[in-house]
Amino acid sequence: MLEAGETDCWFDAPAPGARRSWAIPPGHGTHQGLDLEPLDPSDEDELTFLIEAQHTELEDALRSDEEMITDGEPFSPRLHIALHQVVASQLLADDPPETWQTVQRLSALGYDWHSTIHMIAAVVGDDLYRAVQEHRRFDPGDYARRLNELPGDWPPPQA
């Protein structure tokens, strides 16, 4: 039997052509004592919870709100989850539509769910950095162009 706060959950692979399941694949089991199946990804809090359930390795850092070191670089688990949430929200709303087009293209190239979401999240992260550090406004055309350039120099998909 699981203790409160323990995780016994898994997520399906996203269904090809199913935008909603690419936003957040269907979850099963429990995370922190909550059953994942009835959760609604269109609810912002439930979407965040589902994304956190996919990242159980970040659970302690999320709880303490501390940075982690990955490959010698500081890493914010909270920002990581937030970037996942931005991409998921774009897919759920189909806004901008280029996000879904990019998912379909990268999937056809053989990239898995996590790699695809991370590639798109990197573009989102670049936009956030530009907005904060360079005081740039969001440029939808530039965003669409950079999505279209993916996978860029990302490693090829795993066989």
Confidence of residue 6 (pLDDT cuts 50, 70, 90): low
> Other C-beta atoms within 10 Å of 88: how many?
24
C-alpha distances out from residue 72 to 62, 65, 68, 75, Å: 19, 19, 9, 9
Q: pLDDT, tens digit, for every residue of 48-58?
A: 999 999 999 99
Q: pLDDT, tens digit, for every residue of 24-60?
A: 999 999 999 999 999 999 999 999 999 999 999 999 8
> Other C-beta atoms within 10 Å of 23: how many?
27
The answer to whether the beta carbons of residues 10 and 28 sit under 8 Å apart is: yes
- The rounded mean pLDDT for the chain is 92
CA–CA separation, 77 and 80 (whole Å): 5
Of 3, 45, 1, which Cα lies nearest the Cα of 24? Answer: 45
Per DSSP, what are the bridge partners of residue 28? 10
